[in-house]
A and B are shown apart, each in its own frame.
Chain A
Amino acid sequence: MDIELLEIRDFLAAHHPFDQLPGTALSELPGMLQVRYFRRDSEVSDAGNLENQLYIIRTGAVEVFNADNELLARLGEGDVFGYRASHRPNQIEHRVSALEDTLVYQLAAIDIDKLCEKHTQFAYFFGTVGGDRLRDAISQAAQVAHTQVNLITTPVRDLIKREPITIEPSASIHETAAKMAQERVSSILVIAQGQLAGIVTDRDLRNRVVAEALDVNLPITEIMTFNPTALDENAFAFQAQMHMARHNIHHLPIVRENGVAGMLTATDLTKHQTTSVVYLVSDIYKQRKIERMREVTAKIPDLLVNMAAADATADSVGHVITSITDAITTRLLQLAEIELGPPPVPYVWVAAGSQARNEQTAKSDQDNCMVIDDSYDPKEHGDYFRALAKYVCDGLDSCGYIYCPGEMMAITDRWRQPLKSWKEYFDNWIGQPEPMSLMLTCVFFDMRRVYGDRNLFRELRDHMLEQTRGNRIFLAFMAGNALSHQPPIGFFRNFVLIKGGEHNQTFDLKHNGIVPIVDLARVYSLASGSEAVNTLDRLDVVATGGEVTESGARDLQDALEFICYLRIQHQARQIRNGEAPDNFMSPDALSHFERNHLKDAFSVVRTMQNVLGQRYKM
Chain B
Amino acid sequence: MSIWKFLFNLQERRNWYLRKMPAGPLRDYYESEFPLPDTEWSQADYLALDFETTGLDKHKDEILSIGYAPIRGRSLRLGESDHYLARPVSAIPESSAVIHGILDDTASGAQPLEEALPRLLKALESKILLAHHAAVEYEFLSNACRKIYGYPFIGPVVDTLALEVRIFRAKDEPIRSGDLRLDKARSRYNLPRYPAHNALIDAIAAGELFLAQAAYRKRSRPLLLKDMTVIT
B81 within 8 A of A: yes
Query: A2 near B83 (CB under 8 angstroms)?
Result: yes
B167 within 8 A of A: no
B192 within 8 A of A: yes
Residues of B within 8 A of A32 (CB): 78-79
A299 and B208 alpha carbons, distance in the complex (Å): 57
Query: A37 near B81 (CB under 8 angstroms)?
Result: no
Query: B78 near A30 (CB under 8 angstroms)?
Result: yes
Closest-CB distance, A124 to chain B (whole angstroms): 26
Given contacts A35-B207, A58-B192, A100-B190, contact A4 B75 (CB under 8 A): no
Complex: chain B residue closest to A39, CB-CB: B215
B212 within 8 A of A: yes
Residues of B within 8 A of A59 (CB): 190-192
A535 and B174 alpha carbons, distance in the complex (Å): 63
User: In chain A between 1 and 37, which residues have their CB closer than 8 angstroms to a CB of chain B?
Assistant: 2, 4-8, 11, 30-37
Given contacts A4-B83, A59-B190, contact A34 B78 (CB under 8 A): yes
User: In chain A between 30 and 63, which residues have their CB closer than 8 angstroms to a CB of chain B?
Assistant: 30-39, 42, 45, 58-60
Query: A101 near B79 (CB under 8 angstroms)?
Result: no
A379 and B94 alpha carbons, distance in the complex (Å): 98
B196 within 8 A of A: yes
A512 and B82 alpha carbons, distance in the complex (Å): 50
Query: A2 near B82 (CB under 8 angstroms)?
Result: yes
Given contacts A32-B79, A34-B75, A38-B215, contact A7 B208 (CB under 8 A): no
Segment among B1-9, B20-28, B198-206 that sits at the interface with chain A: B198-206
Query: A101 near B200 (CB under 8 angstroms)?
Result: no
Closest-CB distance, B205 to chain A (whole angstroms): 9
A8 and B216 alpha carbons, distance in the complex (Å): 24
B146 within 8 A of A: no
Residues of B within 8 A of A604 (CB): none
A102 within 8 A of B: yes
A123-153 interface bits toward B, Cβ cutoff 8 Å, 1 = contact, 0 = none = 0000000000000000000000000000000
Given contacts A4-B201, A35-B207, A37-B215, contact A101 B190 (CB under 8 A): yes
Residues of B within 8 A of A39 (CB): 189, 212, 215-216
Closest-CB distance, A6 to chain B (whole angstroms): 7
Complex: chain B residue closest to A2, CB-CB: B83
Residues of B within 8 A of A35 (CB): 75-76, 78, 204, 207-208, 211
User: In chain A between 91 and 116, which residues have their CB closer than 8 angstroms to a CB of chain B?
Assistant: 100-103, 106
A32 and B78 alpha carbons, distance in the complex (Å): 7
Complex: chain B residue closest to A29, CB-CB: B78
Residues of A within 8 A of B216 (CB): 39
Closest-CB distance, A553 to chain B (whole angstroms): 41
Residues of B within 8 A of A5 (CB): 78, 81, 200-201
A34 and B207 alpha carbons, distance in the complex (Å): 12
Given contacts A4-B200, A34-B76, contact A103 B192 (CB under 8 A): yes
Residues of B within 8 A of A11 (CB): 192
A31 and B207 alpha carbons, distance in the complex (Å): 16
Complex: chain A residue closest to B207, CB-CB: A35
Residues of A within 8 A of B76 (CB): 34-36
Residues of B within 8 A of A31 (CB): 78-79, 81
User: In chain B between 65 and 79, which residues have their CB closer than 8 angstroms to a CB of chain A?
Assistant: 67, 74-79
A42 and B216 alpha carbons, distance in the complex (Å): 10
Given contacts A59-B191, A60-B190, contact A8 B215 (CB under 8 A): no
Q: How large is the interface on A (under 10, 10 to 19, 20 to 34, 35 or more residues)?
A: 20 to 34
Closest-CB distance, B77 to chain A (whole angstroms): 6
Query: B212 near A37 (CB under 8 angstroms)?
Result: yes
Residues of A within 8 A of B201 (CB): 4-5, 7
A34 and B216 alpha carbons, distance in the complex (Å): 20
Given contacts A4-B201, A59-B191, contact A42 B215 (CB under 8 A): yes
Residues of A within 8 A of B191 (CB): 37, 59, 101, 103
Given contacts A31-B78, A59-B191, A103-B191, contact A37 B196 (CB under 8 A): no
Task: Indicate the member of B74, B190, B201 with the most A CB atoms within 10 Å.
Answer: B190
Given contacts A7-B201, A39-B212, contact A33 B78 (CB under 8 A): yes
Query: A7 near B190 (CB under 8 angstroms)?
Result: no
A101 and B215 alpha carbons, distance in the complex (Å): 10
User: In chain A between 54 and 74, which residues have their CB closer than 8 angstroms to a CB of chain B?
Assistant: 58-60
B212 touches which of A45, A101, A106 (Cβ 8 Å): A101
Query: A7 near B194 (CB under 8 angstroms)?
Result: yes
Given contacts A4-B198, A103-B192, contact A37 B208 (CB under 8 A): yes
Closest-CB distance, B49 to chain A (whole angstroms): 14
Residues of B within 8 A of A7 (CB): 194-196, 201
Given contacts A59-B191, A103-B208, contact A4 B215 (CB under 8 A): no
Residues of B within 8 A of A38 (CB): 215
Query: B190 near A33 (CB under 8 angstroms)?
Result: no
Query: A4 near B67 (CB under 8 angstroms)?
Result: yes
Closest-CB distance, B7 to chain A (whole angstroms): 37
Closest-CB distance, A7 to chain B (whole angstroms): 5
Query: A2 near B190 (CB under 8 angstroms)?
Result: no
Residues of A within 8 A of B194 (CB): 7
Residues of A within 8 A of B196 (CB): 6-7
B193-232 interface bits toward A, Cβ cutoff 8 Å, 1 = contact, 0 = none = 0111010110010011001100110000000000000000
A55 and B75 alpha carbons, distance in the complex (Å): 13
A100 and B190 alpha carbons, distance in the complex (Å): 8
Residues of A within 8 A of B83 (CB): 2, 4
Closest-CB distance, A25 to chain B (whole angstroms): 15
Closest-CB distance, A29 to chain B (whole angstroms): 9
Closest 4 CB pairs of A and B: A101-B190, A35-B76, A37-B211, A39-B215
With A32-B78, A34-B75 already in contact, 13 other A-B pairs whose C-beta atoms are closer than 8 Å:
A2-B200, A4-B67, A4-B200, A5-B201, A31-B81, A34-B78, A35-B75, A35-B207, A39-B189, A39-B212, A39-B216, A59-B192, A103-B190
**Please, could you name 5 A-B residue pairs with CB atoms under 8 Å apart, sorted by A?**
A34-B77, A37-B211, A37-B215, A39-B212, A103-B190
Tell me the A residues contacting B by CB distance below 8 Å: 2, 4-8, 11, 30-39, 42, 45, 58-60, 100-103, 106
